[in-house]
Structure 1
Amino acid sequence: MLICADRDSIAPTIIWKGQSFDYYSYIYSIAHSPKGWTDGVIGRQWIEDFDNKTRAKTNSRDRLLLVDGHNSHYTKDFLDYAQQNNIHVLCYPAHTTHIYQGLDVVIFSPLKRYWTTERDLFQSSKQQKITKANFISIYGKAHQRALTPENVHMAFKETGVWPLNPHVVTEEMMVSSVKTSSYGQLPLPMSSPVR
C-alpha cells in the first residue's frame, strides 16, 4: 500500500498464495508467492511499480520512499533499482511504525472498519463467501473509503513527516516499554498428573 505526501494514494499490490492469478491486473498490481507473503522478487516488482506510478508526477525528480523493516525492501536488486532511478529509501527505526508510519497511525484503523462493513454487506446481500475472484472488488470499496485525500494528508501530518514537524514525536513516545508482567498464584496447589 502506498500513500504520497501530495495526498494521493496508489492502488495496492495484492499478493495471492499460489502460482498465478490474472483478474484485475490492469488496476491493481497482482503478485503471487507460495505462502502469500512478499519476498525479494515481489519487492523488486513493487519498487518498479512505485517508480512507474510516481515518476511523472515528480517530473523525474528524486523521490523519498519510507518503508518498514521488511527484508523485501533491502535486497540488492531493490536498492540497486532505487539508486538507479533516484529513489532514496529510508527505513523507519525498528519497533516505531506505530509512531512514524502514517499507514499505522491514521489509515489502517478506518480501512479495517470499512473492510468489515463491505465484507459483511457483500456476504449478507449475495450469500456468498469471499473468494479471489470477488475479493478485489469488495476490498477496493473499503480502500477508496479509507484512503481519502484528507486521511492521506493526516497520515503525513500526524507523524510529522510532511509538513516536517519533529515536535510531533515526543520523548515520552520513544521511551522503552516498562515491564508490566505480573505473576499469579493459584489458591490451591495443582494436583499431580493423573497416571
Structure 2
Amino acid sequence: MPSVKQIKKYSIEDMQHALDAVRRGVSVSSASKQYKIPRITLLYKAKGKYAVNCRMGPETTLTSIEEDILVKWLLSIADAGFPAIRVQLLDSVQIIMQKLDRPNKFKNNRPGKKWFSCFLNRRPQLSERLTQNLTKSRSEVNEEKLRKWFDEIKDYVKSKKLEDVFEDPKRIFNTDETAFFLSPKGIKCLVRKGWMTGQSFYEFVTNIFHPWIVANNVKVPVALFVDGHSSHLTMELSNFCVENQIELIALYPNATHILQPLDVSVFHPLKNGWKKGIQKFKMDNEGRKLKRGNFGPLLKVVMEQSIKPDIITNGFRAWFIPSRQQWNTLPQIF
C-alpha cells in the first residue's frame, strides 16, 4: 500500500513567528521544530524564495490581499453587532466577482459551501468570531443580555467617537424590512424569495436614504440602526457608508419586538391599511389584480392614510437608544 503524504498545517502567524526567530539567530531546524513547520519550507521562506503567505495547492479564486480585505471588513461589522457573516461574505464575493469579471468556478459568480469552509480554514480568526456570533444570534432575549448589548453599544460609540451623534435625535435613524403581497392571500412578493436582498438594500441606502440626508442638510456622521439578523449587508454597502459617514449598527438579534420602532408600532397599522388598499383597488378596477406598476402609488396612499406622526412618535418612545447620561437605564420592557 503506497504511503500517504501528510500535509502539515500551520498558520501564517506561526510562520511569521518562526521567521522572526530565525532573524534573531535561532537555527532553522530549531524554529522548525518549535513552530511545527517543515524545515525546507521555513528555509525557502527565510531566503525569500517564497512569500510568507504563499500556500500549497491550487491558487485561490480571490488573491491573498482580497481575502485580507474581506476578513478585515467582516471583523469590523462583527464589532458593530452583526452576528452572522456567511451570507454577507458570499454576497460580497459575488459582487466582487461580477465587477472583476474574473473567470471562476462559482455558479453565477457566487461561492458555495465548500469555498466557505475552505475560506474559514484559511482564516481561523474569522472562524472563531463566527462561532461566537452564531451563539449570540441564537440565544434567547432577556434583560441581562439587553443590558450587556447597551454596554457594548456604548463602548462601540466611544471607540468611534460618535457620542455627539447620540445627543442629536435628528442624526439617529432606523430601518427595517417587511413584505407586501400583491394579492390578499400573499402569493406574490416584490423581491426575490420575498425578502430584502443585498442589492436592493444597497440601492435603498445609496439612492434614497443618503440623498435624503444630503437634501435635508442632516449633519454627518449619522447612525443607522438595522436588524441584527441583517442578511443584506455587503462590503460594497459598508464601503459606501464609510465614505459618506453613515455608521451602520446592528440591533440585538431576536429582539425586534422590543427594540425595533417599526415592529413596535408602525407595521401593524400599515399592514392593515395595505389589505384595505388592495380591496379598494380591486373594487375600483373591476377585480383587476394589482401589478408591480401599481404598487408604488398604492403604497404611498396607504402610508399617508395609515401612518400618522403620533404612531411614529410612539414607536420611537417605546424604543430606547440611550444618551451618554442614560447608558445604565433601560425601559420597563420585561
* TM-score, normalization by structure 2: 0.39
- Using a 3 Å threshold, how does the CA distance of structure 1 residues 71 and 63 change in structure 2: closer, same or farther? same
Deviations 1:104-127 (A, max 9, x none): 000001001111111112212322
- Give the secondary structure class of the aligned counterpart of 1:77: helix
Partner of 1:138: 298
Q: Which moved more, 1:143-152 or 1:114-123?
A: 143-152
- Using a 3 Å threshold, how does the CA distance of structure 1 residues 156 and 34 change in structure 2: closer, same or farther? closer
CA distance in 2, matches of 1:162, 1:145: 31
- Return the offset for 1:139: 2.0
Contact 1:99 1:169 in 2 (8 A): no
Partner of 1:26: none
Give the number of the structure whose residues are more often strand, by fraction.
Answer: 1
- Using a 3 Å threshold, how does the CA distance of structure 1 residues 161 and 152 change in structure 2: closer, same or farther? farther
- Give the secondary structure class of the aligned counterpart of 1:157: helix
Matched residue pairs, number?
147
Partner of 1:46: 204
Is 1:161 the equivalent of 2:318? Answer: no
Partner of 1:82: 241
Query: Which residues in structure 2 correspond to 1:111-150 (within 5 Å)?
Result: 111-127=270-286, 128-150=288-310
- Return the offset for 1:155: 1.6
Q: CA RMSD in A?
A: 3.1
Give the number of the structure whose residues are more often helix, by fraction.
Answer: 2
Q: Which moved more, 1:160-169 or 1:140-149?
A: 160-169
CA distance in 1, matches of 2:278, 2:314: 26
- Give the secondary structure class of the aligned counterpart of 2:216: helix
Code of the residue aligned with 1:99 in structure 2: it is: I
Q: Which runs of 5+ in 1 are unaligned?
A: 17-31, 173-195
Is 1:62 the equivalent of 2:221? Answer: yes
- Give the secondary structure class of the aligned counterpart of 1:61: coil
Alignment partner of 2:263 out of 87, 99, 104: 104
Would you identify which runs of 4 or more consecutive aligned residues in structure 1 move more than 4 Å?
12-16, 32-36, 162-166
* TM-score, normalization by structure 1: 0.63
- Return the offset for 1:130: 1.3
- Using a 3 Å threshold, how does the CA distance of structure 1 residues 37 and 77 change in structure 2: closer, same or farther? same
Bigger Rg over Cα: 2
- Give the secondary structure class of the aligned counterpart of 1:103: helix
Deviations 1:82-101 (A, max 9, x none): 11111111111110011111
- Give the secondary structure class of the aligned counterpart of 1:72: coil
- Return the offset for 1:67: 0.4
CA distance in 1, matches of 2:314, 2:323: 10
- Return the offset for 1:169: 4.8
Q: Which moved more, 1:155-164 or 1:76-85?
A: 155-164
Identity %: 20
